[in-house]
């Protein structure tokens, strides 16, 4: 039986043809328009009723080596939000800013400003495992302002710490790996963008900072600049420059109460991090030196200058001691020599650039109630501290035991107010906790996105009280997937460490509270493994 006649079939085909053609036109037109949930920057107007964060923003960092892209931010712990201001010195066709686990371009949480050729759009996006970009169906970056100013194009936007979106990065304590990119041509559709095909870069920051106000400095505060002596920055990507500086003759005991970076103008995007070390008081004289820290001809006595006095990394603010404490400098039993170490990151191989960057110490002769101290926690560096090769995740833990704290700490304990986590290149995470009565009581410091390329002293959001009998456990996470041999503990950059330098008061005689694997027990373990292996083979 024939259901349709010839004329009816022709009519159906005609309708289907024009319906399909209309659908195709909608698809084609849609591909040249921004998706409905992106913000049209071309017609965007700031909402005057929306409260803006205090300006200027307190935290800032240059993202690219030329300083053409600068990020500033502020934090609202009450609303659990981060406000970000992005300045683009010369905006072409757009810019990409994002966060990922370790700075990868794949599986990254992104915010994108792009030009379609006729309009500009702003949107929350993400990249897949191939670096291809898509607009996120859940828009968690909210545009607050978009303006062209004399010194560049400014974007002001905000985002919650946590969005409950599986494609979004969770902003938490510790290092945040920021990726960025510049668009050099219009995009008819954001889906045309692949991060592997544009100019990109990486910067690391501490996004979340304590929101406590800075203490007032005493009226008799003095300053001491520990800075590079007009160094010509080498035209190579990475340089660690060392300089020995002497304290004034017969300097009495003072308290360092604050320090901050002193960066030569124009070098803000090249000076990556700075550290000042105090030399051992047991070394009466350290020869003058200004040169590469890796130079095999440098004086051997520089190796006795390892006690951290101050540390700064790009984007860090001034470091203040608590009002009741200060770090001793000068006086009997202290060294007269300091070692400055400046890390220059110069990927563009800029030559002929002079630099006198360093750290300015603010100190007072009016001693505070307590001496502050620095205690080294974690593992002792020995070859027994070994990590197998080809490990995606491997853990090592160091202990400051209850016996040590019971013996060395005062009855009221100590108060930890800051710490500096430290590993070498295989390190991926560091965590220090206080254990009391067999239970984990409090977290001291944690960074599960830790990078050996970004190490600075981090002020705790609240001080941690450690009592006699408490245990301090420092746990480090490593990745050795790119290594074919075991990694052992040691001072070399390809060796490993697991350390947390905790800053505390009142100062005690306990400067190092670490553990190591007992060689005898390790031998018993290997004997046990060998016996069981033989039984299995038989």
Active site annotation includes 240: yes
CATH number of 217-371: 2.60.120.310
- pLDDT tens-digit readout, 394-407: 999 999 999 999 99
Laid out side by side, the sheet with 69-76 consists of 59-62, 69-76, 81-88, 152-160, 142-149
Report phi then psi at 432, rounded to 5.
-120, 130
Q: Could you check whether 39-206 and 217-371 share the same CATH topology?
A: no
Q: Which two tokens stand for residue 278?
A: 């105090």
**Domain at 372-537: CATH architecture:** Sandwich (2.60)
The CATH number of 39-206 is 2.60.40.1210
Give the list of residues 6+ apart from residue 305 with CB closer than 8 angstroms, or none: 244, 277, 278, 279, 280, 286, 337, 338, 339
Model confidence band, residue 33 (pLDDT cutoffs 50, 70, 90) = very low
The predicted-structure confidence for 273-304, as pLDDT tens digits, reads as follows 899 999 999 998 999 999 999 898 999 999 89
DSSP string, 65-130: TTS-EEEEEEEETTTTEEEEEEEESS-SSEEEEEEESSS-SSS-EEEEEEE-SS-EEEEEEEE-TT
pLDDT tens-digit readout, 169-218: 999 999 999 999 999 999 988 999 999 999 999 999 999 988 778 888 99
Whole-angstrom Cα distance, residue 500 to residue 440?
A: 17
Contact 291/242 with Cβ under 8 angstroms?
yes
What are the extents of the domains in the chain?
Answer: 39-206, 217-371, 372-537
What's the rounded mean pLDDT across residues 352-369? 96
Give me the pLDDT at residue 491, please.
Answer: 77
Give the DSSP letter string of 130-158. Answer: TSBEEE-SS---EEEEEEEETTEEEEEEE
pTM over 0.85: no
The backbone torsions φ and ψ at residue 54, rounded to the nearest 5 degrees and listed phi first, read -60, 135
* 3-state class (DSSP) for residue 267: coil
- State yes or no: is 422 an active-site residue: yes
* Active-site residue, selected from the candidate residues 272, 273, 422, 424: 422
Catalytic residue among 93, 240, 453, 516: 240
């Amino acid at each position: 039986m024939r259901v349709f006649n010839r004329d009816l079939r022709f009519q159906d085909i005609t309708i289907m043809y024009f319906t399909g053609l209309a659908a195709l036109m909608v698809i084609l037109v849609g591909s040249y328009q921004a998706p409905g949930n992106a913000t049209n920057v071309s017609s965007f107007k700031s909402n005057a009723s929306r409260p803006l964060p205090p300006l200027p923003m307190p935290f800032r960092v240059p993202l690219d080596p030329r300083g053409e892209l600068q990020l500033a931010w502020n934090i609202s712990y009450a609303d659990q939000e981060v406000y970000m201001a992005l300045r683009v010195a010369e905006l072409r066709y757009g810019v990409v800013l994002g966060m990922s686990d370790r700075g990868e371009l794949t599986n990254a949480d992104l915010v994108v400003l792009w030009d379609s050729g006729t309009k500009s759009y702003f949107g929350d996006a993400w990249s897949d495992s191939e670096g291809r970009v898509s607009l996120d169906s859940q828009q968690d970056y909210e545009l607050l302002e978009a303006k062209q100013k004399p010194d560049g194009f400014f974007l002001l936007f905000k985002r919650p710490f946590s969005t409950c979106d599986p494609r979004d990065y969770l902003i938490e304590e510790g290092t945040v790996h920021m990726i960025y990119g510049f668009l050099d041509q219009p995009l008819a559709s954001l889906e045309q963008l692949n991060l592997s095909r544009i100019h990109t870069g990486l910067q690391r920051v501490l996004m979340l900072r304590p929101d406590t106000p800075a203490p007032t400095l005493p009226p008799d505060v003095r300053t001491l600049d520990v800075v590079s002596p007009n160094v010509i920055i080498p035209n190579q990507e990475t340089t660690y420059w060392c300089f020995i500086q002497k304290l004034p003759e017969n300097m009495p005991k003072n308290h360092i109460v604050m320090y901050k970076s002193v960066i030569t103008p124009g070098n803000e995007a090249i000076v990556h991090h700075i550290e000042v070390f105090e030399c051992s008081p047991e070394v009466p004289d350290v020869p003058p030196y200004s040169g590469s820290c890796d130079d095999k001809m440098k004086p051997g006595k520089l190796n006795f200058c390892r006690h951290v006095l101050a540390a700064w990394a790009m984007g860090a603010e001034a470091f203040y001691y608590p009002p009741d404490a200060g770090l001793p400098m000068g006086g009997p039993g202290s060294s007269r020599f300091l070692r400055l170490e400046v890390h220059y990151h110069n990927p563009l191989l800029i030559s002929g650039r002079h630099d006198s960057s360093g750290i300015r110490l603010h100190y007072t002769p009016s001693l505070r109630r307590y001496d502050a101290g620095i205690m080294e926690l974690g593992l002792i560096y020995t070859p027994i501290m070994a990590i197998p090769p080809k490990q995606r995740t491997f853990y090592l833990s160091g202990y400051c035991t209850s016996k040590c704290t019971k013996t060395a700490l005062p009855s009221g304990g100590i108060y930890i107010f800051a710490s500096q986590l430290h590993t070498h290149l295989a390190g991926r995470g560091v965590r220090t906790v206080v254990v009391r009565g067999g239970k984990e009581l409090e977290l001291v410091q944690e960074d599960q996105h830790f990078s050996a390329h970004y190490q600075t002293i981090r002020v705790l959001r609240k001080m941690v009280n450690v009592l006699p009998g408490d245990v301090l456990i420092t746990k480090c996470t490593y990745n050795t997937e790119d290594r074919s041999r075991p990694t052992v503990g040691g001072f070399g950059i390809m060796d490993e460490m697991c350390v947390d330098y905790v800053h505390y008061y009142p100062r005690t005689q306990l400067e190092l509270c670490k553990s190591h694997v007992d060689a005898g027990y390790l031998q018993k373990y290997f004997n046990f493994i060998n016996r069981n292996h033989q039984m299995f083979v038989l």
